[in-house]
Chains A and B, each alone.
Chain A
Amino acid sequence: MARSHNPVSRFGLWAVFVILAVLPLILRGYQLRLVTEVIIFSLYAVSYNLLLGYAGLLSFGHAMFFGTGAFAVAILLEHFAGLPLLLAVTLATAFTTATGFVVGCLLLRVKGTPFALLTLAFNALFYAIAVKWSSLTGGDDGLIIDPPQLDLWLLTLDPNKGPDFYYLSLAILGPVILFCWYFTYTAMGRTVLLMRENEDRMRFLGYNTLLARLSLFTLTAGLAGLAGSIYSLFFAFVSIDAISIETTTTVLLMTFIGGTGHFAGPILGAGVFIYLQNFLSELTENWPLIMGVLFILMVLFTPGGLVGIIKGAAQWTASRRKTPDLRKGAKNRHAHSGS
Chain B
Amino acid sequence: MSDIAIFFLHGLAYAGLLFLVSSGLTLVFGMMSVLNFAHASFYMLGAYFAYWLLQITGNFWLALLISPLMLLVIGALVERFLLRKVHVLGHVHELLLTFGLAYIIDEAVKLIWGTNPHAIIISGFLAHTVNIMGVTYPVYRLFVFGVSMALGLFMWLILFKTRIGIIVRAAVEDSPMVGSLGINVPLVFMGVFSVGAALSGLAGVTAGPLLSVDPGMAGAILVDAFVVIVVGGMGSLGGAVLASFIIGELQSFGVLLFPDFSLALIYMLMAVVLVIRPEGLFGEKQ
Contacts and interface: CB of A to CB of B under 8 A. Distances in A.
Residue in B100, B111, B234, B278 with the greatest tally of chain A CB atoms within 10 Å = B100
B173 interface: no
Interface residues of A, number: 39
A109 B226 contact: no
Contact of A120 (B100, B223, B271): B223
A299 B100 contact: yes
Given A113-B95, A256-B96, A300-B86, A124 B223 contact: yes
B172 to A, nearest CB: 15
A112 B99 CA distance: 15
A132 B97 contact: no
Interface in A69-113: 106-107, 109-113
A60 interface: yes
A292 B35 contact: no
Contacts of B97: 296, 299-300
Interface stretch (B101-109, B121-129, B197-205): B101-109
Given A121-B226, A296-B97, A337-B89, A116 B103 contact: no
**Which 7 pairs show the lowest CB-CB distances between chains A and B?**
A338-B92, A292-B104, A289-B107, A124-B223, A109-B278, A292-B103, A296-B100
7 contacts: A60-B37, A109-B278, A118-B230, A121-B230, A296-B100, A299-B86, A339-B90
A113 B108 contact: no
B92 A293 contact: no
B33 interface: yes
B107 A110 contact: no
Interface of B: 29, 33, 35, 37, 82, 85-86, 89-93, 95-97, 99-101, 103-104, 107-108, 110-111, 219, 222-223, 226-227, 229-230, 234, 260, 263-264, 267, 270-271, 274-275, 278-279, 286
B110 to A, nearest CB: 8
Contacts of B270: 118, 121
A301 to B, nearest CB: 9
A188 B267 CA distance: 33
A117 B230 CA distance: 8
Contacts of A52: 92
B104 A106 contact: no
B261 to A, nearest CB: 9
A25 to B, nearest CB: 39
A90 to B, nearest CB: 29
B224 to A, nearest CB: 9
A245 interface: yes
A132 B267 contact: no
A210 interface: no
A121 B107 contact: no
A333 to B, nearest CB: 13
Contacts, number: 112
A293 B104 contact: yes
Contacts of A277: none
A125 interface: yes
Contacts of B35: 113, 116-117
Given A132-B263, A295-B103, A299-B97, 15 more contacts: A60-B37, A111-B286, A113-B91, A118-B230, A118-B274, A121-B227, A125-B267, A128-B267, A288-B107, A289-B104, A296-B97, A300-B85, A300-B97, A337-B90, A337-B93
A208 B99 CA distance: 32
Interface string A37-80: 00000000000000010001010100000000000000000000
Most interface-central of A52, A114, A120, A256 (chain B CB within 10 A): A114
A286 interface: yes
Interface in A275-309: 286, 288-289, 291-293, 295-296, 299-300, 303
B42 to A, nearest CB: 15
A296 B234 contact: no
A296 B93 CA distance: 10
Contacts of B86: 299-300, 303
Contacts of A106: 271, 274-275
Nearest to A125: B267
Interface string A215-251: 0000000000000000000000000000001000100
A270 interface: no
Contacts of B229: 117
Interface string A295-331: 1100110010000000000000000000000000000
Contacts of B219: 245
Contacts of A121: 223, 226-227, 230, 267, 270
Contacts of A107: 274
A111 B103 CA distance: 24
B273 to A, nearest CB: 10
Nearest to B233: A114
A177 interface: no
Contacts of A293: 104
Contacts of A130: none
Contacts of A56: 92
Contacts of B286: 110-112, 114
A58 B98 CA distance: 13
Contacts of A296: 82, 97, 100-101, 104
A58 B92 contact: yes
Given A58-B92, A58-B95, A114-B230, A132 B275 contact: no
Interface in A15-44: none
A117 B90 contact: no
Interface in A125-177: 125, 128, 132
Given A106-B274, A109-B278, A120-B223, A132 B260 contact: yes
